[in-house]
Amino acid sequence: MLHRAPDQPQTADHDRVAGELMSVEDAIARYRDEWVLMDIADWHERHGPKGGYVLAHSARRDAITDVVVTLPTREERSRTFPDRMYYVFYAVPRITFGPTYEAAVTKFIADFEAMKKEQGAGAIR
């Protein structure tokens, strides 16, 4: 089932607010294992989209595509939102940097070493 955010009026600074403003991480937590369409309002200079407005979410990718084709094109948006882009992603946890990343790498190495030990030192080279 497709869930679309209701259209809302523009704010005084002309920043469209269709849907709820949230971080990509919050959208992943809320819509886990679904496709999500965001209007990105905030970027991390090295890691890509940081947050924006959730415009739609669905378990079906084609339902999101049906919404995307109805949205204004980049050229149509360029006058009011020149730096904004749409972002479609599958909502699964992402590990990019910081303590969570370090913990995941440490666990991977420990699991790999345990597997090597179980299979014998000569099994994996």
Same domain? For 48 and 9 the reply is yes
Same domain? For 120 and 71 the reply is no
Query: Is 3 within 8 Å of 57 (Cβ atoms)?
Result: yes
On the question of pLDDT at 3 being above 80, the answer is no
Per-residue pLDDT, 23? 93
Domain, as residue range, for 55: 3-93
Same domain? For 80 and 110 the reply is no
Task: Compute the average pLDDT of residues 104-109.
Answer: 87
In the block, which residue shows the tokens 């699991």? Answer: 111
Q: How many domains does the chain have?
A: 2
Same domain? For 84 and 108 the reply is no
Q: What average pLDDT is seen over the chain?
A: 79
**From CA 17, how far away is CA 52, in angstroms rounded?**
9
Same domain? For 73 and 104 the reply is no
Same domain? For 123 and 78 the reply is no
Same domain? For 77 and 100 the reply is no
- The pTM (predicted TM-score) of the whole model is 0.63
Same domain? For 53 and 88 the reply is yes
Same domain? For 77 and 106 the reply is no
